[in-house]
Amino acid sequence: MSTAELNDFLDLTPEVAEALAGNRPVVALESTIISHGMPYPQNVETALSVERIVREHGAVPATVAVIGGRLRAGLTADEIDHLGRKGREVIKVSRRDLPVVVARGLDGATTVASTMIVAALAGIDVFATGGIGGVHRGAERTMDISADLEELAMTPVMVVCAGAKSILDLGLTLEYLETKGVPVLGYGTDELPAFYTRQSGFGVDYRVDSPAELARILDAQRRLGFPGGALVANPIPERHSMDREVIDEAIDQALAECDERGIHGKETTPFLLARIAEITGNDSLDSNIQLVFNNVALGAEIARELCALRA
């Protein structure tokens, strides 16, 4: 796709465009966490804090969304507030939804998959989020597998997260990523973190102990011509990690309620995360916010190291 064609669909803020043109670090951020992740005004406060942390670590934040049918890499504070106020009225947009939302001129909050797509179109290599989707428990019956995994297999963006959400079947999620050739890199850990907790009982492909090495791996992946992305699993800070037994009990209860209500598809994860927050007295929400802060800081450091490699 040519630049002219790309500009028919995608808008970059001047700050993001100038940073990319000048080989300065940029970190993509998703917007589902704003509209579907938590209540207003906490969602907006968190999103603005995330952008501030990216800046404090020497990078430019590019929050991704669809506004009035336009793909956006970089939002104003007013646009973030708009998405936060509208909340779940904003369409949750994955790969399959993008053409419809763009054609109809609607607003959309981007998931991991669609944020990766927009980041790749814009030329942004690093994306930091909370946790990725994966293979849902009971997928042998439902075939419920997140589009995030397919996107990681074919879209060249490094995704920094706190592992896969612990509402998922983590073992099958890792098997799926292995089949698709997506490297799972543990930052300072040999074990896949489980979102709210630092351990899952499942190993990562490789342990990596510095942002500089993560940048070198991403650079090598690009220079080798591989089509897909890479997953960086960054454990939640110890002081914010939840007790594994407590969170597992809350997850089991939320999953049972989800089945009873017949909730499925893209409504599953928002329901489960909201219900788990209620069950844990919002402890899980606090942990969620802190792990996002931790991930975007690492994302900014990787983006800085990548720019240094290309200088």
Which active-site residues does the annotation give? 30, 165
Distance CA 260, CA 279 (A): 17
Q: How many angstroms separate the Cα of 108 from the Cα of each of 33, 70, 91, 101?
A: 12, 9, 5, 7
Instruction: Please state whether the peptide bond connecting residue 25 to the residue before it is cis, i.e. omega within 30 degrees of 0.
Output: no
Q: Are strands 60-67 and 26-29 parallel, antiparallel or unpaired?
A: parallel
End-to-end Cα, the chain, rounded Å: 26
Q: Compute and round to an integer the Cα radius of gyration of the chain.
A: 18
Closest C-alpha among 99, 180, 171, 110 to residue 140 = 171
Q: Which residues pair with 136 in a beta bridge?
A: 168
